[in-house]
């Protein structure tokens, strides 16, 4: 008999995994994957949390948000035109004091704005009191590729803010893949939406059999953004095969022993921040401190309608 589950993740956000023939767990990754480092492939099995693992005194969670404020077009002197994207983005850090059970949004959360375009002649746009700084991108600047260009300055902002917040005995959890943040010490990337199938069918069975709090053995990804990585199931999911599954990663520059130690620390730390379905439509993967940080950052971005109108007025004035 087929068993059915209702995922606690709100479908209006897509899915916690994407297996509809696109880049989901049903679609194999092209990255080189090494699965034998912690245990041999034939010994892969769920790993219980290490109750003796070092628990950090402080957990720092960093996240960023971004928003597309307006699509613009230029008309060059030679008659050509280029698309441009006016976007706002922000980043901040939540400090979680585990001993006292206190979470605090650290001062220093910041917002940046940019006009992303391949136009050689575009200049900064002043929209009321807000300035959008030109960030020149390479290539033809196709409209579909413009939103991805916002990620680089957002990552730079996250690195700058989180580096200033570090403490001697902390764990930094980055919402999303590590990418260019791999050099940060005691840091794990937290991937809540699964878009690639990295493991064979046999080893994927270990992932879907995880109980809450358990993780898979480590495996290593060999790609431009290589990493040590592993899967963990959070408490509070529906029981569906991929319900509550997240993927964590750490720097590939760590030794396997160092990566295992960090995975053990994360396994006894991250699940305590899992959200509940009645509080968050992306439960349990959207961690409680991250959800609060996102709400605060979106408020800092300002009113999208006001900014869109200010951009329209500014560009109209420039055409007179």
Domain spans, the chain: 11-318
Q: 60 and 170 in contact (C-beta within 8 Å)?
A: yes
Give the integer Cα–Cα distance in Å for 68 and 40.
46
Other residues' Cβ atoms within 10 Å of the Cβ of residue 276: 12
pTM (whole model) above 0.85? yes
Other residues' Cβ atoms within 10 Å of the Cβ of residue 244: 25
pLDDT at 22: 36
For 32-64, the DSSP string reads EEE--SSS-GGG---B---TTSPPPSEEEEEEE
pLDDT at 21: 38
pLDDT at 214: 97
Give the integer Cα–Cα distance in Å for 134 and 131.
10
Give the integer Cα–Cα distance in Å for 39 and 218.
8
Q: 194 and 216 in contact (C-beta within 8 Å)?
A: no
Q: Mean pLDDT, 10 residues at a time, over the chain (320 residues)?
A: 45 51 58 94 96 91 95 89 94 95 94 94 92 89 87 95 92 93 93 90 95 97 89 90 94 96 96 89 91 95 95 81
Token pair recorded at residue 279: 């509080």
The dihedrals phi and psi of 259, each to the nearest 5 degrees, come to: -65, -40
**β-bridge pairing 32-34 and 58-75:** unpaired
Contacts by 304-313 with C-beta closer than 8 Å and gap 24+?
304/67, 304/69, 306/128, 307/69, 307/70, 307/86, 307/88, 307/127, 307/128, 307/130, 308/69, 308/70, 310/127, 310/128, 310/130, 311/69, 311/70, 311/72, 311/86, 311/125, 311/127, 311/132, 312/70, 313/127
The dihedrals phi and psi of 147, each to the nearest 5 degrees, come to: -60, -35
């Amino acid at each position: 008999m087929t068993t059915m589950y209702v995922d606690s993740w709100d479908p209006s956000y897509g899915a916690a995994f994407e297996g509809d023939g696109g880049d989901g767990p049903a679609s194999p990754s092209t990255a080189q994957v090494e699965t034998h480092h912690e245990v041999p492939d034939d010994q892969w099995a769920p790993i219980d949390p290490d109750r003796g693992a070092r628990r950090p005194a402080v957990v720092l969670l960093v996240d960023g948000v971004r928003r597309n404020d307006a699509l613009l077009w230029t008309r060059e002197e030679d008659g050509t035109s280029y698309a441009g994207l006016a976007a706002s983005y922000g980043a901040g850090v939540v400090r979680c004091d585990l001993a006292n059970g206190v979470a605090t949004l650290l001062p220093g959360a910041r917002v940046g704005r940019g006009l992303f375009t391949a136009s050689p002649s575009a200049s900064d746009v002043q929209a009321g009191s807000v300035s959008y700084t030109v960030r020149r991108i390479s290539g033809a600047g196709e409209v579909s590729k413009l939103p991805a260009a916002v990620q680089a300055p957002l990552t730079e902002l996250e690195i700058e803010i989180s580096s200033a917040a570090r403490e001697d005995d902390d764990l930094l959890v980055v919402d999303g893949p590590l990418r260019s943040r791999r050099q940060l010490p005691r840091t794990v990337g937290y991937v809540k939406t699964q878009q690639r199938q990295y493991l064979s069918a046999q080893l994927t069975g270990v992932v879907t059999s995880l109980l809450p709090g358990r993780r898979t053995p480590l495996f290593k990804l060999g790609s431009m953004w290589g990493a040590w990585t592993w899967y963990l199931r959070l408490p509070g999911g529906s029981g569906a095969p991929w319900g509550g599954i997240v993927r964590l990663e750490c720097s590939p520059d760590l030794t396997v022993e160092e990566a295992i130690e960090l995975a053990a620390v994360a396994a006894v730390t991250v699940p305590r921040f899992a959200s509940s379905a009645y509080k968050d439509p992306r439960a349990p993967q959207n961690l409680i401190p991250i959800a609060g940080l996102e709400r605060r950052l979106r408020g800092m971005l300002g009113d999208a309608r006001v900014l869109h109108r200010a951009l329209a007025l500014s560009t109209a004035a420039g055409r007179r």
